[in-house]
Amino acid sequence: MAVHRQEKDYTVVNLIRQREIQESIAHTISQKLHVTEDLVLRLGLEKELNGHSGCVNCLEWDETGKVLASASDDTNIILWDPFRYEKKLVIHTGHRGNIFSAKFMPKTNNNVLVSGAADCKVQVHDLSLTEPILACYCHLGRVKRIATIGSIPSLFWSVAEDGLVLQYDIRTPHTCENNEPNVLVNLVNHMGRSAEGKCISVNPKRPELIAIGANDAYIRMYDRRMIKHSQVPIIFPHVDWDRRHLSFIRSGEGDPENNVPLGCAQYFIAGHLHSRPRDGNRSLTATYLTFSADGNELLVNMGGEQIYLYDINNSKNSKIFQSYNVKSVSETNEKDSKSKNGCIESCDVNLANTNIRTLPHHVEELKRQANEGFEQQKYTIAINLYNKAISYCPTAAVLFANRAAAFMKRAWDGDTYAALRDCRTTLLLDPQHVKAHFRLARCLFDLNRSVEAEKVIKNFLCKFPEYASNSACKALKMDIKEAIDSGRDIDSFEQDLSRISGYEKEWRSNTIDYKMRFCGHCNTTTDIKEANFFGNNGQYIVAGSDDGSFFIWDRNTTNIIRVLRGDDRIVNCLQPHPSTCLLATSGIDPVIRLWSPLPEDGSINDREIKNLEDAASANQIRMNRDPFELMLINMGYRFPVEQPEENEPNEEIDDQNDQPIVHPLNCRPS
């Protein structure tokens, strides 16, 4: 078979050979040896570390990778030698609640460790002493995450469910009673009384940027240089510290002295979540976020949804589709060029001039296989194949158009919006693409954006009047008109505006959309579930799941490449070693598991889950279960799978003649 393209040769043998030939690039080759496709495909359980008596809620490697710290519900922190599988030290912290976060202070030779717990307390431990050198009681909610940064070894930050983000400097004494100004951000002032901080990360290359995840779908990034620190707010506890009984003086009214100025914040959100109505059975919460090693991207595990990757620098061309501009898509003169898996990046060339109409042979073969999967209603398989094809030909309109159709059929959380994005890309590449116009209108309607859908369908019929009598077009027009007349469109975004500060309204109206999306895991049961980059260039994404497994995605295609069983119930934490192909995981089980490449001796990896598509599909069903059912499932009960209705009308445009048609869709059982 012909070589399709010049592949990046990351096999271990060839990389070592290159190192021998070119000593000058030894360091670069060593970095590439960190995590390769060969090693990832051999990843298996190396060792279980036993020592805790409760769930292990966080894992943390030191800078050298010679020490692994774990913290647990048992309120202990254990320092491990991960290569000898031995305990180095057990720290009895004195916390009176589950420890959710533990971080080494950088450049202290692993002698200083910070912890945050459910007792609302932050502690700093000098490991040469028996008592903490700092104990902070400023928070009145569970402390969920601690953040540190290597370039500023004296500072660290905490975020808690009281909505406060606090900054500490270990060079200065701290006394909670003095009301010193150590509040960096008070989310309650802008989000309202229900605000809870969930996760935090500091940009490794630009430490002035700090990202916060809260109990909603918005990701907040602040430039802390512009923020004036404030004191912990005055709180009147009516019963106890439980936040349901707390009254915050400036809840939703903004900062009293403009402590967080308007220009210091940038918000990110997956576009379809911007106006998504609140689901009474499922809340959206950012359970973990982290910056990429180069500081240019932000990875977010969204509880109740999927995993998203944001480009923090591409704000101009990444705004979400709040107000759909028909002309800019259907008669595009936009100067966009480069497309990366559905993400348009700015360039000074008209995209329509870059559309690849004749695909290379190997890409045509991938498209053929994907189309075949689509016809067999194997939509996830079809999407994965289209993803691969797009990675080879990122400016081929037909691939985005076909993938949009597969997204619409599969209909996982966020798929309709992903289809809308693909339709937009298709029309930027090929403004005359009939199917993309029609599917775009359908996506907008399904997203409860009927006013915009009406504009698109009118523009479609004006552009292609021969379809005016088509039954599918007529049916969609009627549905759109009925939705508009009845006022059925839901815009919870507008409804929420009355309960938040003016600055918060402005920040939410200028959000940045995601760059990539990773699907297949389930994140609904715990609010500490992580997602991390894996590899020297972050070429893989890893995350745990409520089904007890953890997933590994190829970052370039967004396809799942491995699923491994990592816990008897739930995998929460995954922390890659800083310089070796070694992964530490933990969850509900009171053990830490170390994963490394297994020898190629023909033995079976009994923790590998073979059918990746079925595992991902089952998790999508699980994610949309009723919470009470989920609780019973976690206790071991099993429920029958609901069967879809047969002969459900499905609107589509036939691939052969570009005619919108209506035909029955016989869904296969989940």
205-229 confidence digits (pLDDT tens): 999 999 999 999 999 999 999 999 9
Beta bridge partners of 358: none
Q: Is residue 480 part of a domain?
A: yes
State whether residue 483 is helix, strand or coil.
helix
In the sheet that holds 583-587, the strands lie side by side as 43-50, 591-597, 583-587, 571-576
Residue 237: which pLDDT band, with cuts at 50, 70 and 90?
A: very low
Higher pLDDT pick, 558 / 241: 558
- Distances from the Cα of 3 to the Cαs of 363, 366, 392, 446, 654, in angstroms? 12, 14, 13, 42, 33
| Interval 313-327: pLDDT, tens | 976 656 655 445 555
The pLDDT assigned to 319 comes to: 62
Q: First vs last Cα of the chain: how many Å apart?
A: 36
Amino acid at site 252? G
Name the least confident of 115-124, 225-234, 299-308: 225-234
Tell me if residue 261 falls in helix, strand or coil: coil
Query: Which range, of 119-133, 156-170, 230-244, averages the lowest pLDDT?
Result: 230-244
pLDDT at 348: 35
Nearest Cα to Cα of residue 85 among 591, 639, 548: 591
Question: Rounded to an integer, what distance in angstroms lies between the CA atom of residue 574 and that of residue 530?
Answer: 6
What is the domain range of residue 438?
351-494
Predicted confidence (pLDDT) at residue 656 exceeds the cutoff of 90: no
Pairing of strands 209-214, 219-223: antiparallel
CA dihedral for 237, 240, 241, 245, sign (positive or negative)? negative
- From residue 147, give the alpha-carbon distance in Å to each of 133, 159, 644: 18, 9, 45
CB 541 within 8 A of CB 532: yes
Q: What was the pLDDT predicted at 32? A: 55
Residues 6+ apart with CB under 8 A from 637: none
Model confidence band, residue 353 (pLDDT cutoffs 50, 70, 90): confident
Per-residue pLDDT tens digits for 33-46: 689 999 999 999 99
What is the overall mean pLDDT for the chain? 85
Of the listed ranges 20-24, 600-604, 633-637, the least confidently predicted one is 20-24
Confidence of residue 180 (pLDDT cuts 50, 70, 90): confident
* Nearest alpha-carbon partner for 525 in 545, 541, 542, 551: 545
Amino acid letter, residue 483 = A
Q: Choose the weakest-confidence range: 69-78, 125-134, 304-313.
A: 125-134
* Percent share of the chain, pLDDT over 90: 71
Element (H, E) at 613: helix 612-623
Is 372 inside any structural domain?
yes
* The pLDDT of residue 331 is above 50: no
Any domain includes 44: no
**Cα–Cα distance between 456 and 441 in angstroms, integer?**
6
CB 300 within 8 A of CB 531: yes
pLDDT of 280 higher than 80: no
What the block records as the tokens of 105 is 């202070």
pLDDT of residue 360: 97
Q: Is pLDDT at 23 greater than 80 in this prediction?
A: no
* Residue at 173 is within a domain: no
434 inside domain? yes
- The most confident of the ranges 180-189, 271-280, 627-636 is 180-189
pLDDT at 499: 84
For the beta carbon of residue 26, count every other beta carbon within 10 angstroms: 12
Q: Give residue 645's pLDDT.
A: 34
461-475, 477-491, 541-555, 632-646: lowest mean pLDDT where? 632-646
CB 33 within 8 A of CB 11: no
Q: What count of other Cβ atoms lies within 10 Å of the Cβ of residue 284?
A: 19
pLDDT at 590 over 70: yes
Buried b (16+ CB within 10 A) or exposed e, 118-157: bbbbbbbbbbeeeebebebebbbbbbbbbbbbeeeeebbb
Per-residue model confidence (pLDDT) at position 282: 67
Q: What band does 397 get if pLDDT is binned at 50, 70 and 90?
A: very high
Domain count, the chain: 1
Q: Is the dihedral of CA 346, 347, 350, 352 positive or negative?
A: negative
- pLDDT, residue 380, reads 98
Asked if residue 538 has pLDDT above 90, the reply is: yes
The verdict on residue 169 lying in a domain is: no
Out of 206-215, 554-563, 624-633, pick the least confident: 624-633
Distance CA 23, CA 41 (A): 28
Distance CA(149)–CA(74), nearest Å, equals 27
Average pLDDT over residues 296-319: 89
Taking residues 387-410, what's their average pLDDT? 98
- Residue 427 domain flag: yes
What the block records as the tokens of 666 is: 């016989």
User: 663 falls in which pLDDT band (50, 70, 90)?
Assistant: very low
The answer to the question of residue 419 being in a domain is yes
Position 234 scores a pLDDT of 64
CATH number at residue 438: 1.25.40.10
